[in-house]
Structures are given as C-alpha cells and as structure tokens.
C-alpha cells in the first residue's frame, strides 16, 4: 500500500503570527534532512505536515526515522493511503494496521472528514470501520475512553489516510528559531547531550574542540568528529573548530599553581571560544556539558571563576542533571557508545592531583596574570582548523 507520513507539531502550533515562520523553518530542515533518503513531496495543512515518499519503492522506514529526529515535530504517524471509498477503507484499514491490532486488546476508531463531499459522516465511518475491524480481529473490544490503539481515518481531498499508534517525535522547536551557539565539545558523554538539548530548543549548534597533540591522538580527534556527526541527525550541519591547545597547556603547567591548573585552562578555553565566535559574528552564546558538582572544576565556585572570563552567556543544559540522566539521553540519541571509547582528552592528560574545589576569583586572576597568555591565545585562534560536519 502507498504510504504517507503525517507530522504533527507541538509548541509551534501555538505560536500565533509567528507560526508560519516556524513552519517554513521546519519545512526547510525536513527538505535538507530527508534528501539522502530519496525523493518526496511535502504539503502542509492544519498544523500537520504531509511527507509523501516518492519513487518506485521508497524506504519509508528511513524517512520515518529521519523525521523522528527533527525538532518541532511531536508525533509522527505513518499512514496508509486508501482510495476514498468506504468499502475499500473497511477492507484495507484492518490489514494495514494488522500488527498493532493483533497485539491490542481494545481499540476505537476516530474519523475526521475534511472533505465534506464524502458521502458518509464521521460517526458512520467509525461504525463501519469498527465493524470491519471486529470481524477481522474478534478478540478485540471497543473502548472509547482508554483504548490500546486508536485507528484514525482521515478523509481528505486527495485520499483517505489510515494510521494507528503514532511514534513520538523529537519535540522541541525548529533548529534556527533561537539563535546560534558555540558548543564546547569534548569526547565525553555530557557535551554531545548538551548540544542536543540546546538544538532541541531551536539553537543552531557549532562546535569547538581543544586538542593537545601529541598527548592526544588522531583517534581522539576522530572520536570527537564522530560525536559531532552523530548529533547532526538532530542539529543539522555543524561547523567544527579544532583548536591546537598543547602550547597553552604547557605554559599553564610551567607558570601557574597546579591546584588551579584546570580552572585556568577552562578560562582560556572560554576566551578562545569567544574569540572564534567574535571572528565569525552572529553567535550569541557558549554551551558546555558541565553538571553542578560533577568534578572539581564544576562546583559553583569554579563556575563563577569560569564565567568571569566570559563576555557571552554560558548555557549549561546538563547543570541540574544526574550523570544517570545524562547517560539516558546519550543512549537515546546514540552517542553513548562512542563517548565511552577510551581515548584521551586534553583535560585528562593534564589533570592536577588535587584540583581546588573552592577557588576564589581573586586568586585565579592573580595566578593567571603571572604569565602573558595573549600571544599564545592569538596563535591558537589563528591556527584553528575549521571544517563542516555534514548531516549523514
């Protein structure tokens, strides 16, 4: 049977006058993200987007999967397209939804008739289709309050559409509707999740990674690029900045007290990230994967010292989450397995034995002022490599 995929919006349906801007943004995203899956057609009507895979034998599974990763869509309904004839609907609907109906105990039929020229009204459609389903699956019982499966029949201008249980979409609001943010992306579990969460709230994500060759290897860098690649499914293309950080780390180690090493390194990462943003223009915020209290550099005292080095707002979407909650999201978005590969990060290579958990800004600033990092900051910015990681 020919199939079409209905995508229902969430919050953006409530956006009033801005709704069409949001819709256009989402249509643009859909066009870009579905392109690798083949040809298709999009139409919109009544807070629903209709995505029709075209061609000989379209890979509807792949289209559906890609759509469930696009922010702004809350429900994805894979539907059978049936000729607008009640007999045909009664014959084909139970077959199309056979798998779901076999496993259910209760069901109900919902009919919606937007083509008022169709000769049966909604209650009649429900009765007829419900009857046909009961005949084909005698174990089922009708339950209008809490059915296991709702069989939706939509009679539209073009055809009748039948769909059952919807698939959860990615939720959120369309990428591009909230501004642009620079994600500090390490190879760990938390920062890819942080990028995903900001994109879910509409931010365009670009990423900066600090590497410390030869202490960090090519494999470590490839791992980070792979992580960025994995979140493009949700975020779209990611502009990727890779900063050579070895020299700065060596200078910190040679010139600053060991217990403040991490916090000074963090401040210099922020400084470089901001210079890259300023150079590019139109980037509004920094994003990190920090979670309050997770390690010494993530206490509130440490964050105060980090933020004092920032001219831009720093968003930390994981700040109030437990590790287990972050891991759960990492698993859901498919980054966890890559994040736990055991390659070194520039932070772990130079970790002090006893980092200070309660640094004061005054002592950190004093320690940092003891050496002129400026020429090294400038050099790191100049030598940064920029690539674009494309949606695959």
- Residues lying near Mg ion in the complex (CB under 5 A): 186, 188
Q: Report, in Å, the least distance between residue 367 CB and Mg ion.
A: 23
In the complex, minimum distance from the CB of residue 243 to Mg ion, in angstroms, rounded to a whole number: 15
Query: Could you say whether residue 159 binds ligand ATP (CB under 6 A)?
Result: no
| β-strand partners of 167 | 76
Q: Are 146 and 251 in contact (CB under 8 A)?
A: no
By beta-carbon distance, which residue lies closest to ligand ATP? 188
According to CB under 6 A, which one of 69, 78, 163, 209 is a site residue for ligand ATP? 209
Beta carbon nearer to Mg ion, 186 or 298: 186
* Residue among 93, 76, 73, 77 at smallest CA distance from 85: 93
Instruction: Kindly tell me which residue out of 94, 188, 352, 359 binds ligand ATP, with binding defined by CB under 6 A.
Output: 188
Part of the chain binding ligand ATP (CB under 6 A), chosen from 12-20, 152-160, 341-349, 382-390: 341-349
Minimal distance, residue 294 CB to ligand ATP, in Å: 5
Least distance (Å) from Mg ion to the CB of residue 305?
18
Upper half-sphere CA count for residue 32 (Cβ side, 13 Å): 18
Q: Is the peptide bond before 136 cis (omega within 30 degrees of 0)?
A: no
HSE-CB for 379 with a 13 A CA cutoff? 10
Q: Are 312 and 282 in contact (CB under 8 A)?
A: no
Q: Is 376 in the site for ligand ATP (CB under 6 A)?
A: no
297 binds, among Mg ion, ligand ATP, none (CB under 5 to 8 A by kind): ligand ATP
351 forms part of the interface with ligand ATP (CB under 6 A): no
Distance (Å, whole) CA 390 – CA 335: 16
Residue 290 binding result from ligand ATP, Mg ion, none, given CB thresholds of 5 to 8 Å by partner type = ligand ATP
In the complex, the smallest distance separating the C-beta of residue 356 from ligand ATP, rounded to whole angstroms, is 14
129 touches ligand ATP (CB under 6 A): no
DSSP codes of every residue in 261-279: HHHHHHHHHHHHHHHHHHH
> In Å, what is the CA distance from 194 to each residue of 50, 117, 124, 197, 299?
31, 50, 50, 5, 18
Q: At closest approach, how far in Å is the CB of 312 from Mg ion?
A: 21
- Residue 388: beta bridge partners? 239
- 92 makes contact with ligand ATP (CB under 6 A): no
CA distance 108 to 149: 7
Instruction: Return d(Cα 101, Cα 117) in angstroms, integer.
Output: 30
284 binds ligand ATP (CB under 6 A): no
- 319 part of the interface to ligand ATP, by CB under 6 A: no
Q: How far apart are CA 75 and CA 64, in angstroms?
A: 11
384 in contact with ligand ATP (CB under 6 A): no
182 binds, among ligand ATP, Mg ion, none (CB under 5 to 8 A by kind): none
Interface with ligand ATP (CB under 6 A): 184-186, 188-191, 208-210, 288-290, 294-295, 297, 345-347
């Amino acid at each position: 049977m020919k199939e079409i995929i209905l995508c229902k919006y969430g919050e953006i349906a409530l956006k009033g006058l801005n709704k069409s801007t949001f819709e256009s943004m989402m249509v643009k995203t859909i066009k870009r993200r579905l392109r690798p899956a083949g040809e298709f057609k999009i139409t919109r009507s009544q807070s629903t987007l209709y995505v029709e895979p075209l061609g000989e034998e379209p890979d509807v599974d792949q289209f559906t999967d890609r759509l469930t990763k696009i922010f702004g869509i809350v429900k994805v309904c894979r539907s059978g397209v049936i000729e607008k004839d009640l007999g045909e609907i009664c014959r084909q609907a139970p077959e199309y939804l056979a798998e779901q109906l076999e496993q259910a105990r209760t069901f109900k039929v919902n009919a919606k008739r937007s083509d008022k020229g169709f000769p049966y009204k909604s209650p009649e459609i429900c009765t007829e289709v419900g009857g046909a389903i009961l005949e084909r699956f005698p174990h089922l019982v009708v339950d209008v309050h809490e059915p296991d499966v709702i069989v939706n029949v939509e009679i539209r201008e073009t055809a009748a559409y039948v769909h059952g249980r919807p698939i959860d979409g990615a939720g959120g609001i369309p990428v591009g509707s909230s501004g642009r943010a620079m994600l500090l992306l390490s190879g760990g579990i938390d920062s890819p999740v942080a990028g995903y969460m900001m994109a879910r709230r509409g931010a365009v994500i670009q990423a900066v990674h600090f590497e410390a060759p030869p202490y960090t290897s090519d494999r470590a860098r490839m791992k980070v690029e792979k992580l960025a690649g994995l979140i493009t499914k949700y975020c779209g293309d990611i502009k990727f900045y890779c900063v050579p950080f070895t020299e700065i780390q060596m200078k910190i180690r040679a010139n600053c007290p060991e217990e403040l090493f991490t916090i000074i390194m963090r401040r210099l990462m922020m400084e470089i990230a901001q210079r890259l943003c300023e150079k590019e223009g139109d980037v509004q915020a920094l994003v990190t994967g920090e979670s309050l209290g997770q390690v010494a550099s993530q206490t509130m005292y440490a964050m105060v010292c980090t933020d004092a080095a920032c001219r831009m707002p720093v968003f930390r979407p994981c700040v109030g989450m437990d590790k287990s909650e972050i891991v759960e999201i990492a698993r859901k978005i498919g980054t966890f397995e890559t994040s736990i590969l055991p390659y070194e990060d520039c932070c772990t290579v130079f970790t002090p034995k006893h980092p200070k958990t309660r640094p004061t800004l005054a002592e950190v600033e004093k320690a940092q002022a003891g050496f002129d990092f400026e020429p090294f900051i400038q050099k790191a910015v100049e030598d940064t490599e920029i690539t674009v990681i494309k949606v695959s």
